[in-house]
Amino acid sequence: MPGPDKLTWRHLKSIIKQDDCLVNIINIANSCINLGHWPNYFKCSSTVIIPKPNDDIINQWKMTFQALDGKGRHFLDLVDDNLNIIEPVYTKGGPWLRVFGHSNSLCARTTRAITNHTPIGEYRLRFFPNKDFKCPCSNYPIEPRRHILHECTRFNRYWNPRRDSLSHFTMSLIANPYAFAFTDK
180 lies in some domain? no
DSSP assignment, residue 84? P
Specify the pLDDT at position 45.
Answer: 64
Domain match, 73 and 131 both: yes
146 in the same domain as 83: yes
Cα–Cα distance, 44 to 32 (Å, whole number): 15
Same domain, 127 and 152: yes
Residue 106, helix vs strand vs coil: helix
Q: What's the pLDDT tens digit per position in 92-142?
A: 667 777 788 788 889 899 989 998 999 999 999 988 989 889 998 888 888
- Whether residue 77 is contained in a domain is answered as yes
**What is the H or E stretch that residue 4 is in?**
none
Q: Residue 50 falls within a domain, yes or no?
A: no
Helix (H, G, I), strand (E, B), or coil: what is residue 41?
A: helix
Low-confidence stretches of the chain (pLDDT < 50) are 185
pLDDT for res 2: 64
Residue 27's domain comprises 9-43
pLDDT at site 81: 83
Provide Rg for the chain, Cα atoms: 27
116 and 39 in a common domain: no
pLDDT of residue 3: 63
Do both 37 and 118 map to the same domain? no
Residues 22 and 79 in one domain: no
Query: What's the domain count of the chain?
Result: 2
pTM (2 d.p.): 0.62
